[in-house]
Every structure is written in structure tokens, then in C-alpha cells.
């Protein structure tokens, strides 16, 4: 395996239409079924004003890193503000969701997993 580079604007925009997920859209930059990689999924999530990612949980831990805008990440009932420069750790199986502020929200996300498809989202 060797290094590589991916550009955000060249990735497919996903999401934004599934009422189960909410209005979040994302672009995955590193994922074993798209790139010559393993052990890491990395991408960027985008929310319009007051956009949302509905509460859910999944087995792997996750991180968010705020790039622009603002919002609130709720982890197991605790509200945490996210703005540019904020890093948030989400423990394995923790129930969490996101609501963007009036200015929208953009953050990077990542999982210790080979592929995004392998992450089982539980919205119950």
C-alpha cells in the first residue's frame, strides 16, 4: 500500500434525502472500497441552516472536527457545541446526533473501519 491524495470536490455528494438520517450530506474521501486504504474511513459532512443528523449509534468510535459554521452534537443526552477548530470524540455505541446552527455546519469525521458500509447505523 502506498500513499495517495483525494480532493473533496471530486467525491460524490451523498445523503440529504433520507428522512431516517436527517438532512446531512457527506463526501467520503478515504474508504477501502473507494481508495487503496484500510482501517480508516474519513470524510466531510455538510449541513444547511438548522440541518440535522438524527440520533443514532454504531459500534466503532467516531470523531468530528469542526471546519466551519456551528451546531450542537448531543452525545448520550449531553449537548456539546461544535465550531471551527472543535474536536469531538464519540465513544463506541454512544447515542449521538447533530443539529446545525443558523449558519450551517461543516465537519470532518472519521471511523476506525475499512469501509463506511461496514458501519451499522442504529436509529432506534
pLDDT single digits (tens) 65-112: 999 999 999 999 999 999 999 999 999 999 999 999 999 999 999 999
Read off the pLDDT of each residue in 25-48 and give the average, rounded to a whole number.
96
Report how many domains make up the chain.
Answer: 1
Give this prediction's pTM: 0.94
Q: For residue 45, count other CB atoms closer than 10 A to its CB.
A: 22
Asked whether residue 5 is domain-assigned, the answer is no
Q: CA nearest 103: which of 55, 68, 52, 66?
A: 68
d(CA 41, CA 95): 19
Asked if the structure places residue 122 within a domain, the reply is: no
- Supply the pLDDT for residue 65: 98
Q: Is residue 83 part of a domain?
A: yes
- Give me the CATH number covering residue 41: 2.60.120.10
Domain annotation covers residue 6: no
What range defines the domain where residue 22 resides? 13-116
Amino acid at each position: 500500500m502506498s500513499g495517495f491524495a483525494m480532493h473533496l470536490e471530486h467525491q460524490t455528494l451523498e445523503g440529504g434525502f433520507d428522512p431516517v438520517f436527517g438532512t446531512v450530506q457527506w463526501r467520503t474521501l478515504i474508504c477501502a472500497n473507494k481508495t487503496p486504504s484500510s482501517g480508516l474511513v474519513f470524510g466531510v459532512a455538510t449541513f444547511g441552516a438548522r440541518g440535522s443528523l438524527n440520533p443514532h449509534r454504531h459500534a466503532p468510535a467516531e470523531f468530528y472536527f469542526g471546519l466551519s459554521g456551528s451546531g450542537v452534537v448531543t452525545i448520550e443526552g449531553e449537548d456539546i457545541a461544535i465550531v471551527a477548530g472543535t474536536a469531538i470524540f464519540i465513544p463506541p455505541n454512544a447515542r449521538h446526533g447533530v443539529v446545525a446552527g443558523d449558519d450551517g455546519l461543516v465537519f470532518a469525521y472519521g471511523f476506525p473501519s475499512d469501509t463506511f458500509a461496514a458501519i451499522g447505523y442504529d436509529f432506534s
